[in-house]
Amino acid sequence: MKKTILILVDGMRPDAVIQTGHRVVDELKAHSVYTLGAQTVMPSVTLPCHMSLFHSVTPQRHGILSNTYVPQVRPVRGLCEVLSAAGKKCAFFFNWEELRDLSRPGSLAYSKFISGRYGYEASNEALTDDAIAYVNAEKPDFAFLYLGFVDEAGHGHGWMGEEYMYSVKESLDCIERVMNSVPEDYTIIITADHGGHDRSHGSDMPEDMTIPLFVYDRAREGGELADANIMDIAPTITALAGVSPDRDWEGHDLLA
């Protein structure tokens, strides 16, 4: 059984990851099962995409079609509910408040929110520090670190522009710090919820729908995935934890 850290960089396009030339990308490729062509869901909007990641169903099934949360009509248990029911300890670190609805009350052992209103770059850095400290002290079975700076830069200045590329590099710096600072027995999954174009996202354009996905393990020899979907992440995490997925989930274990 493996403990997992999921790091999601909001709005991070895979071509931007490569274009930064960041040294961490070579390390990720060397020790990850990965693809730079994973697909997200429609609408390619932050909360629907996160709900599909954590509940492994399409937005049409979970019913969240915008960044406004509404209770599910036919509830599907999410990743944290499934892990918590199996006695696993889960923790969240995030700087976009709407993500509080990704887990139901009672399913988290720890949650840390720092508003992006105080600056997304600064809150990215602070949350990364907090996540590293918590993981080393408490050894949770699952930790989620959400970094919102890239999406903010995309909306404010345009995807793939100078400010956007700076935010991607900063986020990769945060990812590298986590990789270098947590116990080696953690699997680290790095992904995005969606991409973007111009100063927006939400369409079915490849620029919006295509995301990076790395399943990193220092002991693993790297290899490329033929295909992957954001809905495959939750079943992969439960499989690593030795927990059965919810019967309603539609994704599959990427390591099977």
Q: How much is the pLDDT for 213?
A: 99
* Average pLDDT score over residue span 213-238: 97
Q: Give tens-digit pLDDT for 77-86.
A: 999 999 999 9
Name the pLDDT band for 107 (thresholds 50, 70, 90). very high
Q: Measured between alpha carbons, how far is 38 from 225 in angstroms, rounded to an integer?
A: 9
CB count within 10 Å of CB 187 equals 21
* Average pLDDT score over residue span 184-204: 98
Q: How much is the pLDDT for 134?
A: 99
Residue 17: which residues within 8 A CB-CB, separation 6 or more? 25, 36, 168, 172, 212
Q: How much is the pLDDT for 237?
A: 99
Q: How much is the pLDDT for 177?
A: 99
* Average pLDDT score over residue span 221-228: 95
**Alpha helices, H only, 139-161:** 149-157
Q: How much is the pLDDT for 7?
A: 99
Q: Which domains does the chain have, with CATH numbers?
A: 3-241 (3.40.720.10)
Q: Which amino acid is at 201?
A: H
Q: How much is the pLDDT for 232?
A: 99
State the residue for tokens 């590099």: 169
Coil, helix or strand for 60?
helix
Residue 49: which residues within 8 A CB-CB, separation 6 or more? 40, 41, 193, 194, 230
Q: How much is the pLDDT for 183?
A: 97
Q: How much is the pLDDT for 146?
A: 99
Name the pLDDT band for 49 (thresholds 50, 70, 90). very high
First to last CA, the chain: 14
Q: How much is the pLDDT for 71?
A: 94
Q: How much is the pLDDT for 113?
A: 98
* Average pLDDT score over residue span 218-232: 95
Q: How much is the pLDDT for 123?
A: 98
Name the pLDDT band for 181 (thresholds 50, 70, 90). very high
Q: How much is the pLDDT for 155?
A: 98
Mean pLDDT computed over every residue of the chain: 98
